[in-house]
A and B are shown apart, each in its own frame.
Chain A
Amino acid sequence: MDFLYNILIDPLVQIFTYPIFALEVLIGGLLSGVMYSLVALGFVLIFKASGVFNFAQGAMVLFAALFFAGFIDTGLPWYIALLLTIGVMVLLAMTIERIVLRPLVNQPHIILFMATIGITYFLDGFGQTIWGSSVRVLDLGIPNNPMEFGGVLINQFDMVAAVVAGTLVAVLAVFFQKTRVGRALRAVADDHQAALSVGIPLKTIWAIVWTVAGLVGLVAGIMWGAKLGVQFSLAMVALKALPVLILGGFTSIPGAIIGGLIIGAGEKLAEVFWAPAIGGGIEDWFAYMLALAFLLFRPQGLFGEKIIERV
């Protein structure tokens, strides 16, 4: 009975007794959810354009962050480091397209998925072979202090992260809607064969989409790196982005954002109000359970394409 009380009643009592605190937790959760969305975006881009479930997105985040922090540590000014890292990510995308994806065209999805896990191992090993496995501090000059807005404390860094994510989504939306390449990307996402037959070069498009995903990974890597320090555990951030992904739907950019908000808020609320009752440390799996609960009602995620099955 005690256990049930602790799980079902006590957290709600606390939420209603301390509404301001609950609101702070909620906002903090929403903002940290934005950070998950940053990583999930990279997954969505690649899945939309090529149907590849790119498990290496987390490794790309780590890889980009390692190179950026590494270049800065060698004494380069930040803009040159940024340019060099962008160059590295473009090169990486082209290499992946040429060496991994092109020979595996038309293979079953699971083979491509396994190949991206292979890429994950490769990038993890490669990045750390070059830059070592020590933790690097990445200081962007963003203060990490709480600020007060109408009686509610909000972390400044999280605010900046939210602004960055918002800008990124806006830029991506413009890129997809207004540019020639963006239209070609959407065409490829809709139907590979039709896109090919109207003369869209599939191979170039894939290289571009991996580049874009790499750049999104770079942004995510810089933000996460500034928050946690650039270290191996950044690659694990991908595992936090996966529930966001299935919750929002593999093919939807707004889904990645809203999924991130739901997961972030749910996770923080659960951690603060429910975790003490069941032993703590629930952040590893809670997001998955939450996403699973959603999936039971919408198997394709909140915004995923409706699955139509025919025999």
Chain B
Amino acid sequence: MLYREAGQFKTTYSADQQIFPILQDRIGFFITMAVAFIAIPMFAGDYLTQTIFIPFLVLSVAAIGLNLLTGYAGQLSLGTGGFMATGAFAAYKLATSFPDLNIIFVFIAAGLITALVGILFGIPSLRIKGFYLAVATLAAQFFLLWLFNKVPWFTNYSSSGVISAPPMSIFGVFVTGTEASHTAKYFFLLVLVTLLALAAKNMVRGHIGRAWMAVRDMDIAAEIIGIRPLQTKLAAFAISSFYCGIAGAAWAFIYTGSVEPLAFNIDVSFRILFMIIIGGLGSILGSFLGAGFIILLPVFLTNAPHMLGLNIPVDIISHMEVMIFGALIIFFLIVEPHGLARLWQIGKEKLRLWPFPH
């Protein structure tokens, strides 16, 4: 009764084509935004903001990026960590070489550099498909990390190989470095994520998104109806890497503050892949849901033995966490292979019919 599109007539094309055509969805969206922009900064303490909300925002950008590539364009990639590292190190080089540059330009330029790297590693996708491509993208993962580890130029010849973000401000408020407050970081990230998510949503609704989906569903058929596979696939790699690069830069500059190449190892790539699979392939909302799930799960697993009053040695707990993480992933894939986004869709269908069962 509450969630029904009946009676909501559209009189213009723009009204018909908006992102949320149903009034209830729009209300839901604005409530979510209000919670994100007002309630969370007001009520969540520094600890929650730093340990949950900031990494959530950073990783959802990476998840959106990978979802554009894997979920929409159908190119399975295991190189996300490498691309994030590229973004982080590009941003670091830019920020230290041009100290006066605004952080927004630093992030965008880092994203663009990562996009170029992404195009480079996307070229094989024109000939290689499926799991062969997935393994081939591992080349990007290992090669890029090796590069940042071995070439001291990338770390400005620091002996430890660790880069630290210089303090940078926007409108006079510090968002990186030790002086930055968690709230400032959170707001900066939130605006960034909102803009990037909106851009992604509009891309996948538009011409390029449809081209991606056509290539994903069958690339030969797509080619025959006039979609250029070269441009389409490389655009997917470029835009996906742009997002991953910004996510990597945000991870290094805003979340951790200082980072070494190994922080972007293959485990990161897998975790982001888990996010989009558990959230839902081919869904922007799913990227957020999956990111939230994968971030909350370890937090929950770490605290669960405490809450249950169990007293288990720390090293066994860390092994059991890994084990339960794996088991839960399998459980989720079996229960809902199409991810949390599908559950949300099913829920909406049920709401439309409610209170009737059919």
Q: Give which listed residue, B134, B143, B151, B319, contacts A289 with CB less than 8 A.
A: B143
B333 at the interface (CB under 8 A from A): yes
Task: Choose the segment among B200-208, B251-259, B324-332 that binds chain A (4+ C-beta atoms closer than 8 Å).
Answer: B324-332
Q: Give which listed residue, B70, B149, B220, B274, contacts A281 with CB less than 8 A.
A: B149
Q: How far is the CA of A110 from the CA of B282 in the complex (A)?
A: 13
Interface string of B249-290 (1 = CB under 8 A from A): 000000000000000001000100110010001000000000
In the assembled complex, which residues on chain B have CB atoms less than 8 Å from the CB atom of A118? 326-327, 329-330, 333
Interface string of A202-245 (1 = CB under 8 A from B): 00000000000000000000000000000000000001001101
The answer to whether A299 touches B129 (Cβ under 8 A) is: yes
In the assembled complex, which residues on chain B have CB atoms less than 8 Å from the CB atom of A2? none
The distance from the CB of B58 to the nearest CB of chain A, in whole angstroms, is 22
A88 at the interface (CB under 8 A from B): no
Task: Choose the segment among A68-76, A172-180, A261-269, A290-298 that binds chain B (4+ C-beta atoms closer than 8 Å).
Answer: A290-298
Task: Choose the segment among A16-24, A100-108, A160-168 that binds chain B (4+ C-beta atoms closer than 8 Å).
Answer: A100-108
Q: Give which listed residue, B134, B146, B220, B277, contacts A285 with CB less than 8 A.
A: B146
Q: How far is the CA of A295 from the CA of B126 in the complex (A)?
A: 11
Q: Which residue of B lies closest to A243 (CB)?
A: B135
The answer to whether A125 touches B150 (Cβ under 8 A) is: no
Given contacts A104-B337, A250-B131, A281-B150, contact A121 B319 (CB under 8 A): no
The answer to whether A284 touches B325 (Cβ under 8 A) is: no
Q: Give which listed residue, A53, A126, A128, A242, contacts B138 with CB less than 8 A.
A: A242
In the assembled complex, which residues on chain B have CB atoms less than 8 Å from the CB atom of A35? none
Most buried by A among B149, B315, B326: B326
B132 at the interface (CB under 8 A from A): yes
The distance from the CB of B107 to the nearest CB of chain A, in whole angstroms, is 27
In the assembled complex, which residues on chain A have CB atoms less than 8 Å from the CB atom of B143? 285, 288-289
The answer to whether B330 touches A113 (Cβ under 8 A) is: no
B308 at the interface (CB under 8 A from A): no
Given contacts A111-B277, A117-B270, A250-B132, contact A280 B150 (CB under 8 A): yes
B29 at the interface (CB under 8 A from A): no
A-B contact count (CB 8 A): 142
Q: Which residue of B lies closest to A106 (CB)?
A: B337
A33 at the interface (CB under 8 A from B): no
Q: Which residue of B lies closest to A134 (CB)?
A: B315
Q: Give which listed residue, B151, B224, B277, contacts A114 with CB less than 8 A.
A: B277
Given contacts A118-B329, A284-B142, A309-B220, contact A291 B135 (CB under 8 A): yes
Q: How far is the CA of A119 from the CA of B328 in the complex (A)?
A: 10
Q: Give which listed residue, A117, A282, A295, A309, contacts B146 with CB less than 8 A.
A: A282
In the assembled complex, which residues on chain A have CB atoms less than 8 Å from the CB atom of B295? none
Residues 86 to 145 of chain A near chain B (Cβ within 8 Å)? 99-100, 103-104, 107-111, 113-115, 117-126, 128-129, 132-133
Given contacts A114-B273, A291-B136, A296-B124, contact A109 B131 (CB under 8 A): yes
B76 at the interface (CB under 8 A from A): yes
Q: Which residue of B lies closest to A278 (CB)?
A: B150
Q: Is the interface of A mostly helix, strand, loop or mixed?
A: helix
The answer to whether B325 touches A121 (Cβ under 8 A) is: yes
B139 at the interface (CB under 8 A from A): yes
The answer to whether B319 touches A125 (Cβ under 8 A) is: yes
Interface string of B321-356 (1 = CB under 8 A from A): 111111101100110010000000000000000000
B316 at the interface (CB under 8 A from A): yes
Interface string of B292-307 (1 = CB under 8 A from A): 0000000000000000
In the assembled complex, which residues on chain A have CB atoms less than 8 Å from the CB atom of B320? 125, 129
In the assembled complex, which residues on chain A have CB atoms less than 8 Å from the CB atom of B134? 53, 113
B128 at the interface (CB under 8 A from A): yes
Residues 217 to 253 of chain B near chain A (Cβ within 8 Å)? 218, 220-221, 224
Q: How far is the CA of A263 from the CA of B145 in the complex (A)?
A: 21
Q: Give which listed residue, B129, B224, B266, B334, contacts A307 with CB less than 8 A.
A: B129
The answer to whether B323 touches A110 (Cβ under 8 A) is: no
Q: Give which listed residue, B138, B150, B326, contacts A279 with CB less than 8 A.
A: B150
Q: Which residue of B lies closest to A242 (CB)?
A: B135
A1 at the interface (CB under 8 A from B): no
The distance from the CB of B224 to the nearest CB of chain A, in whole angstroms, is 6
In the assembled complex, which residues on chain A have CB atoms less than 8 Å from the CB atom of B323? 121-122, 124-126, 129
In the assembled complex, which residues on chain A have CB atoms less than 8 Å from the CB atom of B281? 110
In the assembled complex, which residues on chain B have CB atoms less than 8 Å from the CB atom of A291? 135-136, 139
The answer to whether A239 touches B266 (Cβ under 8 A) is: yes
- 9 smallest beta-carbon distances between A and B, as pairs: A125-B323, A121-B326, A122-B326, A125-B322, A288-B139, A118-B329, A285-B142, A118-B330, A285-B143
18 A–B contacts from the bound complex (CB under 8 Å): A53-B134, A110-B277, A113-B76, A114-B333, A117-B270, A117-B273, A119-B330, A120-B326, A124-B322, A125-B325, A132-B315, A133-B315, A246-B136, A250-B132, A295-B136, A296-B124, A296-B127, A299-B127
A→B interface (CB under 8 Å):
53, 99-100, 103-104, 107-111, 113-115, 117-126, 128-129, 132-133, 239, 242-243, 245-246, 250, 278-282, 284-285, 288-289, 291-292, 295-296, 299-301, 307, 309-311
B→A interface (CB under 8 Å):
70, 76, 124, 127-132, 134-136, 138-139, 142-143, 145-146, 149-151, 218, 220-221, 224, 266, 270, 273-274, 277, 281, 315-316, 319-327, 329-330, 333-334, 337
Q: 6 more A-B contacts (CB under 8 A) besides A110-B281, A133-B315? A: A111-B337, A113-B134, A117-B326, A118-B329, A124-B322, A284-B145
